[in-house]
Amino acid sequence: MKKIFVMMIMCVLCLSTLGVLALNVRAQSGVDWWTDFHHDLMRTGSSTSAVPATNQTSWTYTTGGPVYSSPAVFDGVVYIGSIDGGVYALNSTKGAVIWSFATNGSVESSPAVADGLVFVGSDDNVVYALNAVTGSSVWNYTTLGPVESSPAVANGSVYVGSVDGNVYALNENTGIKVWNFATGGAVYSSPAIHAGVVYVGSVDFNVYALNATTGSEIWNFTTGSFVESSPAVANGMVFVGSENGRIYALNASTGSPVWRYTTDLGVYSSPAIANGNLYVGSLDGNVYALNASTGEYEWSFTTGGAVYSSPVVAGNSVLVGSQDDTIYVLDTSTGAYVWSYATGDNVWSSPAVANGSVYVGSVDGKVYAFGPSKSSLLSQIEFYAIIVIVIIVVIAVVAYLYMTLSRRGRGQNASQSMRLGP
């Protein structure tokens, strides 16, 4: 009897443990996290996450200054910088502060998360590596100018630009400089990494392709003006905007132009690539969708202000901010309006989409969270329900076996008593 009871307890404990582990695996492995500026190392700005159906905020968090930085989201934490000099780690569900780290300058750079560290630049000229869990400083590297470029981490190196005109490769673990490449102007553009090549723009009008290991130049392409837009890499091409109002598609191997499209004003926004299309904003107030292979015009949507924010794509939605203080969600196929939300000031920050929620900053000093989407929430509830049902069924089976064996044991004892007699 005691053995049966102990066995039942052990089964329940094991099932409970398995349930918790299953939920944890579900929470972590099934999420397309947003670890870098514009989602990934290729800066495609594209996520498989669902998007909330409405503009209902789930939380807001107020920093001490305007937020130009764009969020990174990983493992249930939102990482973002502020002009108040802080780097913040916020709970992605509730918006509560997990930790904050104070730099000595404004933080317009967008954090990157990799290997348990958060990498970010500051206007105090420094690139920081912080412990992702505690926010403590692991290392820092000082450049000769503000660092508003957003880091990219690949193959043990951190790649980032500086207003001092250099592109830097730093050792991911120590911060020691591996190499630097001098352009002819400030580097606000954030490097994209693909197939051992670093792609980045400069205020010297050029887009560069550099060897990621040595920093040697592979090619450069001269546009008509400043290149603060960050390149996106997809399908053998590099896509980037220029202050001259043009979007360029370049051959990723040679730098030769494939096509170009001209908007009415400068393009500081970084292109998103998804579903065979390119999505980008312009200072002319429009968000454009172009065929990524040919540059052919697909559609445009007019906002009420210049678009510095970089569009992102999730599911069938394009999300972007505007200088009219508004965050827009548009249909990817037609550009039709889906929903919007008016913040308290301009939106330079680019949205991040993860686990069914949208996160974005505003010059009003707030970080906004929308969602999660109904589909994401339902899938989680369904999964939890299945786990609970399985546990209940197993407990019921164990209880049935226990009762059956107990009755059998009592029957056997009664039979033995009858045979033995008084």
The fourth-level CATH superfamily of domain 46-372 is: YVTN repeat-like/Quinoprotein amine dehydrogenase (2.130.10.10)
pLDDT at 31: 87
In 10 A of CB 408, how many CB atoms? Answer: 10
Tokens, residue 267: 């393009």
pLDDT at 30: 72
Hey, which residues does 205 pair with through a beta bridge?
A: none
**329, 318 in Cβ contact below 8 A?**
yes
- Predicted confidence pLDDT, tens digits, the chain (422 residues): 555 544 555 554 444 444 444 444 444 457 899 999 999 999 999 999 999 999 999 999 999 999 999 999 999 999 999 999 999 999 999 999 999 999 999 999 999 999 999 999 999 999 999 999 999 999 999 999 999 999 999 999 999 999 999 999 999 999 999 999 999 999 999 999 999 999 999 999 999 999 999 999 999 999 999 999 999 999 999 999 999 999 999 999 999 999 999 999 999 999 999 999 999 999 999 999 999 999 999 999 999 999 999 999 999 999 999 999 999 999 999 999 999 999 999 999 999 999 999 999 999 999 999 998 444 444 444 445 555 565 665 566 556 666 665 666 555 555 555 444 44
Choose among 62, 11, 70, 63: nearest CA to 311: 70
pLDDT tens by residue, 258-302: 999 999 999 999 999 999 999 999 999 999 999 999 999 999 999
pLDDT at 6: 47
Choose among 394, 369, 397, 395: nearest CA to 59: 369
374-420 and 2-29 are packed helices; what angle lies between their axes, rounded to 10 degrees?
170
In 10 A of CB 29, how many CB atoms? Answer: 7
Task: Please report, for the chain, the start and end positions of each structural domain, with discontinuous segments joined by +.
Answer: 2-29+378-420, 46-372
Choose among 210, 131, 206, 204: nearest CA to 169: 210
Instruction: Region of 117 please: left (phi>0), alpha (psi -120 to 50) or beta.
Output: beta
pLDDT tens by residue, 159-176: 999 999 999 999 999 999
